[in-house]
Structure formats: C-alpha cells, structure tokens
Amino acid sequence: RSFYIRISHDHEEEFDRSIIQKIQDYNIFRNVRDLADQLRPIASAIDLCQSDNKKIADARDVWLSLLDNPVPAAHKATVKKRFNQTITTEHLVAYALHPSYTGAKLPPDQLIFVTEWISCNGVERLTIFISYQANESPFPISFSTDQAPSLPPL
C-alpha cells in the first residue's frame, strides 16, 4: 500500500484526483485485505484441485477441508452449494477406496451411500469393500500403515 501512496504522491499531477483518493482511502485497503484473507483458502483449494498430480479422491478431501475452514465463513453457503454441485458418486467412492483417506472423514450418510452404491454394482464388490475397510485379506497391511499416504501413485 505504501508503494502506491508514494507513486501517487510523486506523480500527483499525472493521476486523476479520484484515483489518488481511492489509493489513500484506508477503508478500501482494509476491505480488500479482509476479502483477500477470506478468499485465500478458496484460491488455495482451486490451486490444489488443478494440480497435475491430484486424483479424484484428493478433490473430495480438498472440498472437505474447505468446508471445515472457518476463514471463508461469509461464503459458507456458496461453498456448500458448489460442493453439492461438484462432488459426485465417483468422488465419494474414490475417497472411500483411496489408501490415503480410506473414507475416514466421510460422514455416516455418505459412507452409507457409498456402501449402497457398491452393493448395487455387485455383492462380491461389497464384500471386497468391507474387507478393505476392515484392513483384512486380501489387502496387505501396507494399505493401512502410516506410509501409505506418502507412497507415489502408480
């Protein structure tokens, strides 16, 4: 801000007076700073989702983190609306099956939805899903260790 004030002071004759008043108005500066603070988590979430190495399950986790973030509280309804428009069945299933997340943060209603969706696609798949959730055979113990989230994707 001080940089812009110095430029407007040094070149006062070259600027329109209304522009100089806006640069020197501290209320505008404070409002812009507050809005930037509110939108920073949203911008960060967008950057994370657009990363080349993010998977569909990661998108679900990013959205969940954004919903839990207290900073954009004024925009919570809009974020929730976009979450409901964006997150699909595939996101939820991918999140439930991803070794880094294993559906740990899924609310009960979403976990039930995933379980029902998997069972509609074959009882044998439901059996495999339940075994995966319980860390039982045929899944190796490495699927449930703390190292699984740090493993690179195949």
- The band of 154, judged by pLDDT with boundaries at 50, 70 and 90, is very low
CB-based contacts of 87-94 (< 8 A; 24+ apart in sequence) = 87/59, 87/60, 87/63, 89/113, 89/114, 89/117, 90/56, 91/56, 91/57, 91/59, 91/60, 92/60, 92/117, 93/117, 93/118, 94/55, 94/56, 94/57, 94/60
With tokens 């428009």, the residue in question is 85
Residue 150's H or E segment, with its range, is none
Distances from the Cα of 24 to the Cα of 37, 50, 116, angstroms: 21, 37, 59
What is the tens place of the pLDDT at every residue in 1-58?
576 667 766 777 777 778 777 777 778 788 888 888 888 888 888 888 888 888 888 8
Give me the percent of the chain exceeding a pLDDT of 70.
84
Q: What is the pTM of this model?
A: 0.64
